[in-house]
């Protein structure tokens, strides 16, 4: 567990009949079954096309769908058919909350979600097997940032919009990686199960949603129940577009917490690779925009956000001055969050637009001036 509170919560077990249902739904035995299932719709496409950057994969799928239909058209139909449970107006507040806190979301993702995720040994082995353990680290982070930036653009996750297309590109990229690792001696199926399987994919959604919201709150951002529910709803549909089975897409915040507790207790197994991945990430991102923070301060943020237990397991420690800097920043964030509450809605929208434009400039710096080299075709 990342925090003493979450560890205590897990040790208490289910506290109501509904929680018993969720506890069983996400039991270790059931999660093990999900480790044998991947994303058949996307995988059938990837098996028939050559690897390229994500936008190239989707371009090829669209071309083949027009010429052949079949598996390619089935993938597009699934992505463009909006489930009946989706209401874009209801997820609009969530989109705006992620847009409003875009920079802080990036800090939490970098210092908490990804670092904690690396302590889940089985999923993190994909980076080891593909040779990206300590290669192109900052570029991976900026490409992840490009995805997060695009999905909170003006069109959000609506079909035909850039955010929707970007998630389709990510989904095909994951399928291409699975294709690369299929029958690859670098990947030990008996030891690590199927690469980028359904449990791993559900865990990724938790990193972008559950862990990010938890980290934002720890940094002093005020998020009320309605906002939190909309943020969760936003990522429920994003997870669907990324190929996560609906049975692993939680419907309430309480159910999401149970999934997070069960999944973490199932996968938490830090190794030397976990430590290498975490420190390579923080070291490579030190001194880089948008924060330009030194390595020691990033270590301090990470230790504060993931909790002492995980930090100790990953040998992440910080100096007293760096820890003091974290608490100063936290005080400033709390004050700014209180001020945000009293702003009228038009002013909040101006802040959100400013932060989104700031994110765009940061990503352009990180990705470089040549869009042809970007992982995804466009930037919102």
Q: What is the mean pLDDT of residues 117-140?
A: 83
| Predicted local distance difference test score (pLDDT) of residue 145 | 93
pLDDT per residue over 299-322, tens digit each? 999 999 999 999 999 999 999 999
Residue range 95-122: mean pLDDT, rounded: 95
| Confidence category of residue 136, pLDDT binned at 50, 70, 90 | confident
Q: Which token pair is 210?
A: 């559950």
Q: What count of other Cβ atoms lies within 10 Å of the Cβ of residue 317? A: 15
**pLDDT the model gives residue 372:** 62
For the stretch 149-190, pLDDT in tens is 999 999 999 999 999 999 999 999 999 999 999 878 889 999
Residue 132 has pLDDT above 70, yes or no: no
How much is the mean pLDDT over the chain?
A: 93
Query: In this predicted structure, what is the pLDDT of residue 134?
Result: 65
The pTM for the full model equals 0.95
pLDDT at 5: 79
- Helical pair 253-267 and 198-208, crossing angle rounded to 10 deg: 120
| Mean pLDDT calculated for residue range 268-273 | 93
Quick one: pLDDT at residue 375? Answer: 72
């Amino acid at each position: 567990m990342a925090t003493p509170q979450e560890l205590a919560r897990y040790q208490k077990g289910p506290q109501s009949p509904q929680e018993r249902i969720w506890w069983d739904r996400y039991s270790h035995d059931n999660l093990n079954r999900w480790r044998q299932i991947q994303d058949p719709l996307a995988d059938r496409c990837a098996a028939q096309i050559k690897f390229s950057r994500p936008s190239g994969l989707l371009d090829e799928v669209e071309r083949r769908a027009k010429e052949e239909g079949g598996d390619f058209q089935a993938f597009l139909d699934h992505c463009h058919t909006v489930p009946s449970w989706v209401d874009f107006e209801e997820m609009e507040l969530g989109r705006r909350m992620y847009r409003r806190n875009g920079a802080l979301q990036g800090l939490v993702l970098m210092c908490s979600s990804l670092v904690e995720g690396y302590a889940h040994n089985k999923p993190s082995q994909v980076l080891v097997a593909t040779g990206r353990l300590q290669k192109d680290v900052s570029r991976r982070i900026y490409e992840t940032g490009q995805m997060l930036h695009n999905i909170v653009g003006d069109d959000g996750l609506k079909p035909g919009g850039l955010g929707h297309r970007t998630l389709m590109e990510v989904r095909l990229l994951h399928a291409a990686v699975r294709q690369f690792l299929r029958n690859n001696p670098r990947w030990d199926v008996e030891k690590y199960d199927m690469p980028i399987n359904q449990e791993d994919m559900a865990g990724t959604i938790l990193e972008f949603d559950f862990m990010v919201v938890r980290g934002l709150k720890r940094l002093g951002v005020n998020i009320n129940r309605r906002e939190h529910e909309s943020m969760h709803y936003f990522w429920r549909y994003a997870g669907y577009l990324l190929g996560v089975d609906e049975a692993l897409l939680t419907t309430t915040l309480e159910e999401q917490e149970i999934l997070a507790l069960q999944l973490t207790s199932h996968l938490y197994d830090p190794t030397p690779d976990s430590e290498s991945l975490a420190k390579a990430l923080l070291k490579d991102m030190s001194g880089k925009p948008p924060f330009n923070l030194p390595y020691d301060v990033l270590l301090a943020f990470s230790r504060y956000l993931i909790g002492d237990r995980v930090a100790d397991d990953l040998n992440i420690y910080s100096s007293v001055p760096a820890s003091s800097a974290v608490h100063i920043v936290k005080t400033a964030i709390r004050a700014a969050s209180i001020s945000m509450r009293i702003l009228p809605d038009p002013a909040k929208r101006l802040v959100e637009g400013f932060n989104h434009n700031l994110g765009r400039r940061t990503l352009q710096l990180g990705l470089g001036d040549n869009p042809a080299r970007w992982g995804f075709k466009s930037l919102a």
